[in-house]
Amino acid sequence: MDSEALRKFSALHPRPAGLTLHYGTAGFRSAAQQLDHVVFRMGILAALRSKAVTATIGIMVTASHNPEEDNGVKLVDPLGEMLHPSWEEYATQLANAEEQELQKVITEICQKAAVNLHKDASVFIGRDTRPSSKKLSQSVIDGIQVLGGQYHDYGLVTTPQLHYMVCCQNTQGQYGKATLEGYYEKLSKAFLELIKQSHCSGEFQRHLKIDCANGVGALKLSEMKPYFPQEVLFHIYNDGTKEKLNHLCGADFVKVHQKPPGGLDMKPNERCCSFDGDADRIVYYYKDAAGHFHLIDGDKIATLISIFLKELLAKVKQNFKMAVVQTAYANGNSTRYLQETLKVPVHCVKTGVKHLHHKAQEFDVGVYFEANGHGTVLFSKAAETKIRQLVKEEKDNAKREAAKMLENMIDLINQTVGDAVSDMLVIEAILALKGLSVQQWDALYTDLPNRLLKVQVADRRVIDTTDAERRALTPPGLQEKIDALVKKYKLSRAFVRPSGTEDVVRVYAEADTQENADALAHEVSLAVFHLAGGKGAPPQP
């Protein structure tokens, strides 16, 4: 390692005194002006990780659905998955090291992770449309160059596109071509093949209004438009030419506020969807004839995809194991519908994409979505190989057709990570193939009324949970109190969990009516306030 280069570059990216940041599920996120030293050092870490695993590593500059003034950075592992947990600790150590300790910390990481500094390093870089992203990605490059690494800067891309490119590169093109054109071609071809098999005609299926959160999704969707025939009518709103990123729009805004985004004019029964700022989440919605707003979140997206895949798997008559993975935030009625009506096994895991992804890998077909609209489907290597073989060799027409649809689904789904563009195309294809309107999809089941609250506490660590965060182990007496409160209401459940990012405790409650869900959430909040060291005034109803 060139100590002189490290010293010289590090001086250009000084760490502000007293600032400590932690690498979490979303990488680092903070106000953009605080991040220059962090992204420089993550350029170094990406090169180290690449040398350690002798593969290309991705690094994405984005803060997803956060306000435009924020930014962030996260690393992508060789198969497009999230950074290995042991390296999350190295990321935190490196980001917070004092200037003069930097070389020592790098040497320690090399020892712990058996990094051979003489090996080559290769890093793919992507960024979102924030005003600060271009300068920050230049700082990433400085970091990579300190260790003499090679890099390819893709410039403006969605987060899932970068994950996709990294996977393509490290599978020597087996997953696809590591270019934007390769991504557009693979997805559009699979989508067009699928809708060719649809028997329903009618323009109602093809119109879709898309709120792109004034983010990078708008640019990439526009680039993709020429790959679709004219009858596919995707109308782009909030394209970033007029308003600020994520301001009063985007998937997170729509989900949290349960109302349509600004900048999109909705007529009754029109199908609409929203991406988030870096296009790795999607939610659908519509207004009914009476003007009521209906949200179709990640739970209902997972349900639609599960219905479709289950039907196809039954037709190919292979003994594939399929399951849906959810978190405790999934609506109780979605879990009931999947288990009781569809007869699909459902597994609950801790909040955070890495937990869902990890669990979904245990099945031949693993569907996972968070309620916020982030999710995808994973196919085991064995299932994929078998499906592709059936397409080539199966004599029975119905079986071969079903296998062909499954093959196109495998190609259309971005298995590396939740991808708003890919998920949207999957949903649009299923709705067309099943001849379903957005209202019919919504009517599969009715969500139980629910409420999400947060309670300020002195220290969130006093709450410890078990059973995929559905039960509280500490402080003593809290879970018993929650159990007693839940007994008062019909179809009810409630749980509490510490926030991953701030000193608040999140409270979720659902019940048979909105009034009861609100009352239960409030009563549980009071219990948390009194038993877990609440701060400030007690929660008000």
CATH of residue 34's domain is 3.40.120.10
Per the annotation, does 139 bind a ligand? no
pLDDT of residue 205: 52
Domain boundary, last residue among 271, 294, 317: 294
Answer yes or no: is 26 within a domain: yes
Q: Which of 14-18, 132-136, 260-264, 328-332 has the lowest mean pLDDT?
A: 14-18
Answer yes or no: is 175 within a domain: no
By C-alpha distance, which of 327, 409, 407 is closest to 360?
327
Query: DSSP character for 24?
Result: B
Domain boundary, last residue among 443, 472, 498: 443
Answer yes or no: is 173 within a domain: no
- Inform me whether the pLDDT recorded for 1 exceeds 80: no
Verify that 120 and 222 share a domain, yes or no: no
Answer yes or no: is 259 within a domain: yes
* 14 DSSP β-pair partners: none
Domain boundary, last residue among 268, 294, 320: 294
Residues in Cβ contact with 72 at an 8 Å cutoff, skipping those fewer than 6 apart: 26, 27, 28, 29, 30, 35, 61, 62, 63, 64, 66
Answer yes or no: is 541 within a domain: no
pLDDT of residue 11: 94
Dig out the tokens for 301 from the structure. Answer: 């997206």
Per the annotation, does 470 bind a ligand? no
Per the annotation, does 499 bind a ligand? yes
Residues 141, 157: Cα–Cα separation, whole Å? 17
Angle of helix 159-170 relative to helix 180-196, nearest 10 degrees, comes to 100
Verify that 200 and 122 share a domain, yes or no: no
Query: DSSP character for 285?
Result: E
Answer yes or no: is 309 within a domain: yes
pLDDT digits (tens, 9 = 90+) for 55-77: 999 999 999 999 999 999 999 99
- Inform me whether the pLDDT recorded for 202 exceeds 90: no
pLDDT of residue 203: 45
- Inform me whether the pLDDT recorded for 152 exceeds 80: yes
Query: DSSP character for 448?
Result: P
- Confidence tier at 168 by pLDDT (50, 70, 90): very high
Verify that 407 and 322 share a domain, yes or no: yes
Verify that 30 and 8 share a domain, yes or no: yes
Verify that 108 and 16 share a domain, yes or no: yes
Per the annotation, does 500 bind a ligand? yes
Per DSSP (E only), the strands in 220-333 are 233-237, 272-275, 282-287, 293-296, 322-327
Residues 218, 237: Cα–Cα separation, whole Å? 8
- Inform me whether the pLDDT recorded for 396 exceeds 70: yes
CA atoms within 13 A on the CB side of 161: 30
pLDDT of residue 360: 98
Please tell me the total count of domains within the chain: 4
Verify that 274 and 314 share a domain, yes or no: no
Per the annotation, does 120 bind a ligand? no
Per the annotation, does 464 bind a ligand? no
pLDDT digits (tens, 9 = 90+) for 316-372: 999 999 999 999 999 999 999 999 999 999 999 999 888 999 999 999 999 999 999
pLDDT of residue 232: 84
- Confidence tier at 274 by pLDDT (50, 70, 90): very high
Answer yes or no: is 166 within a domain: no
Per the annotation, does 3 bind a ligand? no
Mean pLDDT of the chain: 95
pLDDT of residue 494: 98
CA atoms within 13 A on the CB side of 136: 32
Per the annotation, does 484 bind a ligand? no
Residues 517, 503: Cα–Cα separation, whole Å? 24
Verify that 76 and 194 share a domain, yes or no: no
Verify that 148 and 7 share a domain, yes or no: yes
Dig out the tokens for 307 from the structure. Answer: 């219905």
pLDDT of residue 515: 97
Answer yes or no: is 172 within a domain: no
ω before 475 within 30° of 0 (cis)? Answer: yes
Per the annotation, does 265 bind a ligand? no
- Inform me whether the pLDDT recorded for 200 exceeds 60: no
Residues 153, 46: Cα–Cα separation, whole Å? 14
Distances (CA, A) of 492 to 118, 271, 515: 59, 31, 12
pLDDT of residue 204: 40
- Inform me whether the pLDDT recorded for 198 exceeds 70: yes
Verify that 516 and 406 share a domain, yes or no: no
Active centre residues (catalytic)? 64
By C-alpha distance, which of 177, 45, 64, 41 is closest to 123?
45
CATH, residue 493: 3.30.310.50
Contact by Cβ (8 Å): 417, 80: yes
Query: DSSP character for 337?
Result: I
* Domain assignment of residue 471, given as a range: 450-532
Dig out the tokens for 146 from the structure. Answer: 């300190």
By C-alpha distance, which of 221, 372, 201, 344 is closest to 284?
372
Verify that 35 and 148 share a domain, yes or no: yes
What's the residue count for the chain? 541
Residues in Cβ contact with 145 at an 8 Å cutoff, skipping those fewer than 6 apart: 5, 9, 43, 151
Q: Which of 195-209, 265-279, 464-478 has the lowest mean pLDDT?
A: 195-209
* 375 DSSP β-pair partners: 369
Verify that 60 and 204 share a domain, yes or no: no
Residue appearing with tokens 């300190």: 146
Verify that 333 and 290 share a domain, yes or no: no
CATH, residue 212: 3.40.120
The torsion region of residue 103 among left (phi > 0), alpha (psi -120 to 50) and beta comes to alpha
